[in-house]
Structure 1
């Protein structure tokens, strides 16, 4: 079944916001910058963000973390597994931790603590979407693309059952289009 996907943020709005985020990050004058993308959902956002950082005259290095807190369910848990960790030395570096969506905050809080404990000079969070009403951990993003309504979102890297990541916009799936959703992206 193909759900009816409704546009929430179109390509132009995303492009403008990503470029603005890169300029905000550049204004903070990070040193020895390492961008760490949290896989899988952030891969398109992270790629566009580092290209925009280049245009803003930053020269970041890039790494990836793949974390899982879902297992077989759709609700996050406190049990976070590291599927892929950062390989670079983070000691003394400014890090931008990039994720597609900040909801419960558990995964990003875990990643931030892990990088901080390994000696990062600073760890700031860039989240494309922010859903503060779903927050379970005491964490917030330093750089936010958009405030996101409590809807199940897909596109621009975020998925529903491994589909719809390729969409060039961010859309939402109405509850009756999927047989019921809980507002969580599969990102």
Structure 2
């Protein structure tokens, strides 16, 4: 069973506010990099919201993996698909679905910084208040959520439930 934590209206409203926060950070030559796969719906909605607040970022995709096919992180981040654009002297906004251990975003931020990005920021839809495996703080956070397994709005369990228009918590069956 899936319990709805954040419905469509709440997500939409929060994304509009996030876009304004990002605009107010005054990024220059902004390159948005969506971390696939879980962020694809959030990234699409956030990029459109950035347009509505007067921004025109370039958009790229990077696929990193630490979960593979299970519900627990393997602890090692691997690059499945890298970006094509140069990041030298650009501001970069990483977009990810969820911040838990911090490994994926810290890996991406370090990689892009080493490639010469002027500034690397991160926007996450969900942040869980759990101890991080690595030191990482997101610049823009949609929602705080309990330390439960979440699905919907792009997030999955074994490639299921990504299509749900809300963020839900998987509840064990009794």
Scaled by the length of structure 1, the TM-score of the pair is 0.90
Counterpart of 1:18 (choices 15, 18, 33) is: 15
User: CA shift at 1:28, angstroms?
Assistant: 1.0
1:154 aligns with 2:151: yes
User: CA shift at 1:132, angstroms?
Assistant: 2.8
Segments of structure 1 that go 5 or more residues without pairing to the other structure are: 178-187
Q: Distance in 1 between matches of 2:107 and 2:34?
A: 14
Q: How does 1:59-78 map to 2 (within 5 A)?
A: 59-78=56-75
Count of residues in Structure 1 that have an aligned counterpart in Structure 2: 174
User: CA shift at 1:125, angstroms?
Assistant: 0.6
Q: Distance in 2 between matches of 1:40 and 1:134?
A: 23
Question: In the superposition, relative to structure 1, how do residues 73 and 157 fare at CA in structure 2: closer, same or farther (>3 Å)?
Answer: closer
1:131 aligns with 2:128: yes
Give deviations 1:149-172, integer Å, cap 9, x for gaps: 111111000012211111111111
Q: List structure 1 segments (4+ residues) > 4 angstroms apart after TM superposition.
A: none
Aligned to 1:185: none
Q: Distance in 1 between matches of 2:7 and 2:72?
A: 27
Give deviations 1:61-97, integer Å, cap 9, x for gaps: 0001101123454322342211001110000000110
Counterpart of 1:42 (choices 33, 39, 43) is: 39
Q: How does 1:110-125 map to 2 (within 5 A)?
A: 110-125=107-122
Counterpart of 1:85 (choices 82, 88, 93) is: 82
Q: Distance in 2 between matches of 1:77 and 1:5?
A: 25
